[in-house]
Structure 1
Amino acid sequence: MLRSKKEGHRLQVKNLGLAFVTGSLLVTGCSMNPSLTQNETEIKPPPVSTTESNQSEKSAEQNSISTVSHDTAASDFEKTESLKLVNAEEQFDPVPLEPIQAAAVNEQSALGSGMTLQELESIALANNPAIQELAASTQKAAGYRTQVTTRPNPMVGYQGQQLADRGTDQHMAFIEREFVTANKLELNNRVLNATLSAQLQELEAQRFRVRTDIQIRFYQVLAMQKQLDLISEFLQVAEKGADFAQQRLEAGEGTRVDVLQSKILYSEVKLTQRQTKAKLAAVWREIAAISGIPEMEYTTLQGTLPSDTGTRNWDELATSMVASSPEYSAAHDRISRAYAALERQEVQAIPNITAQLGAGMDYGTNSGMVNLQVGVPIPVSNKNYGNIDAAQAEICRAQMEVQRIKNDIEARLAVVSKEFDTATAAIDVYSNDILPSALESMDLANQAYKAGEVGFVQILIARKTYFDTNLQFVNAQSQLAAAQAKIDGFMLTGGLNSVRDDSGDTSLRDQTFSQQ
C-alpha cells in the first residue's frame, strides 16, 4: 500500500516536466495569499467544557432543609451541618470519568466545527516560503536548460581596405557563423535536463517535509485539546474534593492532612492545565510559521487520534521507502547528470568550425570580389583533461551521495520504528490493562471509603491515578500519530530549513563557444 502510494507521487512528479515549470509554477511562484492573513495574533485556548449542572445541588439543598427538625437550636444546628456534609459527599462522588475509547483510523471525532488536517495542509502548501523558494529554483533550472541549448547569433560586419589610396580601395560586407560540432548542445541539454529533474524531486521532497511537520503538530494540538477537556472535567472533581475535605475538617470528621492533600491535588491539576495551554499556544505558533502565515489565529482542530496498533515489517518498509523517496530519486537524477556531464566534457576538445563569407567591390580593378574564411582551434595545449577528471570524480561523489541518503533513510526509519513500536505498546497496555484497572481501582476506593475501610486520601490517590493514566494514554496516541506521519512522509521533516539550490548555470554554453 505504501509503495504504490509513494510511487504514484514519484511518477506524478516525473510526468509534470516542463508543464509544471512553465505552467503552475509561474502561478504559485513567490506570491502570497493576503486573504489568509489574520489581524489578531492572540492565541485563544479552547473553551472549557462543563459536565455538571447546579440544579441537582440546589434541589438536594432544598430537600435537606425541609427535613431539619426544629426542636431546639442546638439540635437544629447539628443536623444542618450533618446534612451539609452528606450533601458535599454526594457532590464529590460524580459520574466517573469514562476511559478514552480508541477511535478507528480515519474516523472523525465530534470536536465540533473546526479546521481539518486537509485544510491546514492546503494552507501550508500554498504559503510555505521554502516551497516557494524551491519552486523559484526549479524555474531557474528550466531557464538554464533552455539557455544552454541556444545557438550563437551570427555576426554581420563591414570591412574596408586601402581606404587612404583613392581609386584602389576595397569594400566588403561579411557574415560570420560558428558551427557547433560533436553534438555539444544536445549534451548540454541532457546535463541540465537531469538537473531540472533533480530539482523537481527536491520540490516534491520539500512538500513532504511541510506535510509531515504540519501533521505532527496537528496531532499534538488535537491531543492537547483532548487533554484540556479531561483536565477541565477532573478540575471540577478536585475542586469539590477540596471543599469536601474542608467541610469534613470543620465538622470534626476530617484531618488537616486531608485538606492539604486535596489542595495539593487541585493545585497540581491547575498547573497541568496552565502548562498544557502554554504548550498548545506554542505548537500553534509553530503551525502558523510553517504555514507561512505567522498571524494565523488559533482555531479548534477537528480530527481523531490514531489507535492502529498493528505490526509493521520494517525491513520491507525500508526497501519500499528508499525506492519511492523523492529525496533518493533526486540523488539518482544527480548521478544521471554526472554521467551526462562526463560525456559532455569528453567531446569538448573537438573544435567547432567558424566560417566567414564576404562580398564586396574592388575599385582598383572595378570588379566584384567574394571572400570565404574558415577556421578551427587546434587542441594542442588544452585537451580538457582537467574537466574530464573532475566529471569522473563527480560521478563517484554522486554515487556515494545516493548510498549515504539510502543509509540515512534506513537510519531515520529505525528511529521512527522505535517511536512507533513504543507508542503502539503503550496504547495496547493502556487500553487493555492500565485504564480498566485504574477505573476499577477508583470504583473500589469509593466503595471502601463509603464502608469506612480507607481514608479520604486514598480516594484522592485513586482519582489522580485514573486522571494521569488518561493523560498518558492521549500522549501515546499523539506519539503514534507523529510516528505514522513521519513514515508517510519518508521521514522528511524541517519545513522551514534551508533548501538545496542546485539549479545549475549557463557555464556549459559558455564553454561550448569559447572552446576553452
Structure 2
Amino acid sequence: MTIPSGRFVVLAAASALALRCGFAAAQAAPAAEPPLTLPAAIELAIGSHPALRAAAHDVAASSAAIEQARQLPNPELSYLREGRDAGTRTTTIQLNQPIELGGKRRARVALAQAGLDVAVGERQARRQALRADVIAAYFDVLAASERAALAEQAAKLAERSADVVSRRVAAGKASPVDAARARLVPADARIERDRAATALAIARQRLEALTGLTVADRTLQAPQLPVPTALPAAPDRAERAPAVRRAGRELALQQARVDVERAARVPDLTLTVGSQRDDQVARRQAVVGVAIPLPLFNRNAGNVVAARERAAQAQAQLEAARLEARSALAVATLQYTQARDEAALLAQTVVPDAQHVYESTLKGFEYGKFAFLDVLDAQRTLLQARTRQLQALHDAWRARAELEQLNGDDGEQP
C-alpha cells in the first residue's frame, strides 16, 4: 500500500516527536536512590564528623609530646669576665651540661606515652559514641517511618469505617449519632497522621546531621534482630565497656605521674667544663666543676603525695566503672530479650488476631449484627496492638545499640 507523501511527513514528524519525548522523559526521570543501610550510615558519619577530626588532632599532639619528652636537656654556654683593664682581667668560658638522675627522662616518656594512650582511647570512645548515636538515629527514623505508615493505615481504617456508617445511615439502618461518631474518628486519625509526619521529619533531620546525607528520599533497611545470647556470668565483657577502658587509661596516666614526681625528688647533676685565662700571668687553665642541689628543704614530698592520691582516686573510679558496666550490661541484655520476644509475640499472634477481629466486626456491622461502638472498639484494639508491636521493636533496636556500645563493639556490621 502506498502512503501519500503528506501523511508520511505527518507520521514521520509524530514518530520523531514521540521518540524525542520518550528520550526526554528518560533523561528527566531521576535514578532511584539505593537504600541506605545501617553500615553505610555509620561509615558516612565516621568519615565526615568533625568530632573525630578533632580527636585525631589530639592524638597527633600527644604523639608530638612523646618526641619532646625524649629530648635531653640543652647545654648552657656561659662567658664571665672579671676586671676592666687589660692585663688584669680574668676571662672564663665554660659549658654547663645538666644530667638528669633518678630516671626522670624515662618517667617523662612514660607519662607522655600514657597521655597518648588516653588520646587514642578518647578517639575510640568518640567513634563508638558516634556509632551508637547513628544507630539510635537510624532506628528512630525507622520507627518514625513505621509510625507514619501506621497513622496512614489508621486514617484509612477510619475512612473505611465512616464510609460503612454513612451507607448504613443512608439506608436507614443506623442512627445519625453513629454517623457523627464516625466523622470524629477520621479527624483524629488525620491529626495523628500529621504528628507522625512531623516526628518523621525531625528524626530524619537528626540522622542527616550525623551523616551529612539527605535521607528524605532514601529508604532505610531494618536489620534483623539476632537471637538474645545468654547473660554473661564472667566480668570480662564489662572490661570492654568504654567507661571501663577510659577509667583504666586514666589510672595508667596517674600512675605515670606518680613515677614522674618520685623521680623529681632526685636532684640533677650539672657538669661544667671550660677554660679560664688570667691576663696577669698570661696563662690559660682548664675549668672543671660539678654542681648538685642539696635537697634540704624541698624534697617534692607534697607533689608525690598528691600524685598518689590521684592514682588512688583513679583506681576507685575504675572499680566504680566496672560495677556500673556490669549492671548496665545485665539491664540492657534483659531489656533487649524482653523487647525482642514481645515484638515477635505481637507480630505472630496479637496483631493478626486483632486484624481478624476488626474485619469480622466491620463485616458484622454491615449486616446489622454489631453496633458501631463494637467497630470502634475493634479498630482501637487493632491500632493499639500495632502500636505496641512498633514500640517493642523500637525498644529492641535501642537496647541492641546500647549493648553494642557497652560491649565496646566497633565493627562495620551492627
Normalised by the shorter chain, which TM-score bucket?
0.7 to 0.9
Structure 1 equivalent of residue 16 of structure 2: none
Structure 1 residues not aligned, in runs of 5+ = 1-110, 493-516
3-state SS of the aligned residue for 2:290?
A: strand
The root-mean-square deviation of aligned C-alpha atoms, in Å, is 2.6
Report deviation, 1:399: 0.8
Q: Does 1:313 align with 2:233?
A: no
Structure 1 equivalent of residue 58 of structure 2: 137
3-state SS of the aligned residue for 1:188?
A: helix
Match of 2:282 among 366, 381, 389: 366
1:298, 1:172 → 2: CA distance?
Answer: 80
1:246, 1:466 → 2: CA distance?
Answer: 22
Report deviation, 1:360: 4.5
More helix as a share of residues:
2
2:94, 2:403 → 1: CA distance?
Answer: 66
Number of residue pairs matched by the alignment:
377
Report deviation, 1:376: 0.5
Structure 2 equivalent of residue 349 of structure 1: 265
Query: Which one has more relative contact order, counting CA pairs under 8 Å at least 6 apart?
Result: 1
Match of 1:148 among 44, 66, 69: 69
Query: Within 5 Å, which residues of 2 pair with 1:110-189?
Result: 113-162=34-83, 164-189=84-109
Return the letter of the residue paired with 1:280.
Answer: L
Structure 2 residues not aligned, in runs of 5+ = 1-31, 409-414
Report deviation, 1:359: 2.0
Structure 2 equivalent of residue 220 of structure 1: 140
Change (3 A) 1:344 1:302: same
Q: Does 1:335 align with 2:251?
A: yes
Report deviation, 1:479: 1.1
1:305, 1:257 → 2: CA distance?
Answer: 47
2:348, 2:148 → 1: CA distance?
Answer: 23
3-state SS of the aligned residue for 2:287?
A: strand
CA contact (8 A) 2:270 2:290 kept: yes
Match of 2:359 among 440, 443, 460: 443
1:235, 1:113 → 2: CA distance?
Answer: 29
CA contact (8 A) 1:198 1:331 kept: no
Structure 2 equivalent of residue 482 of structure 1: 398
Query: Within 5 Å, which residues of 2 pair with 1:71-470?
Result: 113-162=34-83, 164-291=84-211, 293=212, 298-304=216-222, 306-308=224-226, 310-316=227-233, 319-470=235-386
Using the size of structure 2 for normalisation, the TM-score is 0.82
CA contact (8 A) 1:120 1:214 kept: yes
CA contact (8 A) 2:277 2:285 kept: yes
CA contact (8 A) 1:409 1:491 kept: no
1:388, 1:167 → 2: CA distance?
Answer: 54
Report deviation, 1:401: 0.8
Report deviation, 1:447: 4.3
Change (3 A) 1:256 1:307: farther
CA contact (8 A) 1:416 1:486 kept: yes
**What per-residue deviation string (whole Å, max 9, x for no partner) do you get for residues 251-275 of structure 1?**
3222222212222221222122111
2:251, 2:372 → 1: CA distance?
Answer: 72
Return 450-459 or 117-126, whichever deviates more: 450-459
Q: Percent identity?
A: 19
Change (3 A) 1:240 1:439: closer
Query: Within 5 Å, which residues of 2 pair with 1:29-68?
Result: none
Report deviation, 1:213: 1.4
CA contact (8 A) 2:92 2:275 kept: yes
CA contact (8 A) 1:202 1:326 kept: no
